[in-house]
């Protein structure tokens, strides 16, 4: 009996730590540090475009000279040479083992879904047209090991993608081959990674799942008596969320429906608040799957903005779309597979109902409230 109590206590601690981690200031930034590198390989040269977040460059190089919290075009232009030297020193391209020489063509600025980016256009000269292209990427890994470089490579009408990370800084491409399997794996990995680091999507889903192992009796919560009932609740919520976000992800990716990113991100924050509030003031009851479906439509637009930033290969649009969505589902199922057995094992503990469900929901509401204010008013409340 004492062993069971100790295990239950550890599980509850795990739930508490998970909610605190997801709702911590470190998780307040919806989008992680990414840069977007595009390479077009022709017979004579490689044309490149590199979009790097101004906030990341400011952290590494200090672009905000007057320290007023805003980076002007004048401040950015004053650092063009420094930015080019810093970035290109951290990217090495080689064709068939021979190093290519890079040169800057122009500097621009563009807006992505998470803010302004410096755009560095450059060319790379190689001794001959590459049959094997290698890229060694090291941008920001020394200051941010979580940073990723999202590569889009075009050659002979084919588009390929890859992700650079601190663990995988080198990518190698056989240009003579068309590798659909690699595209499938890459976009699936993007989907898995996005749901795992998409804290607002996770908090929305977990807020709806927390009561799945409980029953509402006489205005209070009590542990469910049959596992299959809890499992059925989880299946309904997850299936409704999956169906809804798949619909809008597809419509947005195919440009059938487009919504402003700021509206979408604000609505996602509001959906997290409603989902958590429903655990304190029951509105949906056993119909939580309706919440999952209705707000899942909004989350689908959020997934689509990430996919748009990654770049969709026109020659493999359906493949990329299906693979990304598949990745989201795989990541989601992994979370559910971890959540349900743990929640079931401690559902009868008072601390689960009061600490995890009630206390955790309050913490989620507070965090999502900060997201909502930041996104609606375009503010930064927490650095």
Q: What is the pLDDT of residues 206-227, one digit of tens each?
A: 999 999 999 988 888 899 999 9
Q: Averaged over 9-21, what is the pLDDT?
A: 57
- Out of 26-35, 124-133, 193-202, which region has the weakest mean confidence (pLDDT)? 26-35
pLDDT score for 22 = 54
Model confidence band, residue 80 (pLDDT cutoffs 50, 70, 90) = very high
Distance CA 234, CA 225 (A): 15
Q: Averaged over 16-24, what is the pLDDT?
A: 55
3 state DSSP class of 41: strand
pLDDT score for 91 = 96
Give one DSSP letter per residue of 136-170, joined into a string. Answer: EE-TTTTT-TT-EEEEEEEETTEEEEEEE-SS--E
pLDDT score for 111 = 83
Residue 100 is classified by DSSP as P
pLDDT score for 61 = 92
pLDDT score for 308 = 73
pLDDT score for 89 = 95
**DSSP strands (E only) in the chain:** 34-41, 46-53, 91-95, 98-99, 101-112, 115-125, 132-137, 148-155, 158-164, 170-174, 214-217, 220-223
pLDDT score for 26 = 45
What is the residue whose two structure tokens read 């401040």?
Answer: 75
Please give the residue that has the higher pLDDT: either 15 or 104: 104
Mean confidence (pLDDT) of the chain: 85
Q: Averaged over 160-173, what is the pLDDT?
A: 86
Per-residue pLDDT at 128 exceeds 60: yes
Please give the residue that has the higher pLDDT: either 167 or 270: 270
Please give the residue that has the higher pLDDT: either 208 or 2: 208
Per-residue pLDDT at 84 exceeds 70: yes
Out of 56-70, 191-205, 240-254, 266-280, give the one with best mean pLDDT: 266-280
């Amino acid at each position: 009996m004492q062993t069971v109590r100790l295990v239950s206590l550890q599980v509850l601690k795990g739930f508490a730590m998970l909610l605190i981690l997801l709702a911590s200031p470190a998780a307040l930034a919806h989008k992680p540090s990414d840069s977007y590198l595009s390479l077009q390989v022709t017979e004579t040269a490689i044309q490149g475009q590199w979009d790097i977040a101004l906030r990341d460059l400011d952290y590494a190089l200090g672009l905000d000279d007057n320290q007023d919290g805003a980076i002007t075009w004048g401040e950015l232009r004053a650092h063009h040479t420094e930015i080019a030297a810093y970035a290109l020193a951290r990217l090495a391209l080689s064709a068939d083992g021979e190093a290519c020489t890079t040169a800057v063509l122009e500097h621009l600025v563009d807006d992505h879904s998470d803010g302004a980016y410096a755009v560095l256009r450059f060319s790379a000269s190689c001794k001959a047209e590459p049959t094997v292209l290698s890229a060694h990427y090291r941008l920001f890994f020394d200051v941010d090991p979580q940073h990723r470089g999202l590569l889009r490579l075009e050659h002979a009408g084919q588009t390929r993608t890859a992700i650079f990370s601190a663990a995988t800084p080198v990518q190698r491409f056989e240009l003579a081959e068309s590798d659909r399997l690699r595209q499938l794996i890459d976009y699936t990995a993007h989907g898995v990674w996005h749901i795992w680091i998409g804290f607002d999507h996770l908090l929305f889903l977990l807020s709806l799942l927390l009561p799945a192992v409980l029953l509402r009796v006489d205005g209070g919560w009590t542990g469910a008596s049959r596992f299959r009932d809890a499992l059925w609740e989880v299946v309904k919520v997850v299936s409704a969320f999956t169906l809804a976000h798949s619909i809008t992800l597809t419509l947005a990716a195919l440009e059938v429906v487009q919504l402003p990113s700021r509206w979408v991100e604000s609505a996602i924050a509001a959906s997290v608040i409603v989902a958590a509030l429903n655990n304190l003031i029951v509105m949906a009851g056993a119909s939580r799957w309706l919440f999952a479906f209705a707000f899942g439509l909004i989350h689908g637009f959020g997934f689509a903005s990430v996919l748009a930033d990654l770049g969709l290969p026109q020659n493999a649009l359906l493949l990329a779309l299906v693979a990304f969505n598949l990745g989201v589902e795989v990541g989601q199922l992994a979370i559910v597979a971890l959540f349900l057995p743990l929640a079931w094992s401690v559902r009868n503990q008072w601390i689960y109902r009061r600490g995890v469900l009630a206390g955790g929901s309050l913490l989620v509401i507070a965090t999502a409230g900060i997201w909502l204010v930041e996104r609606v008013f375009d503010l930064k409340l927490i650095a």
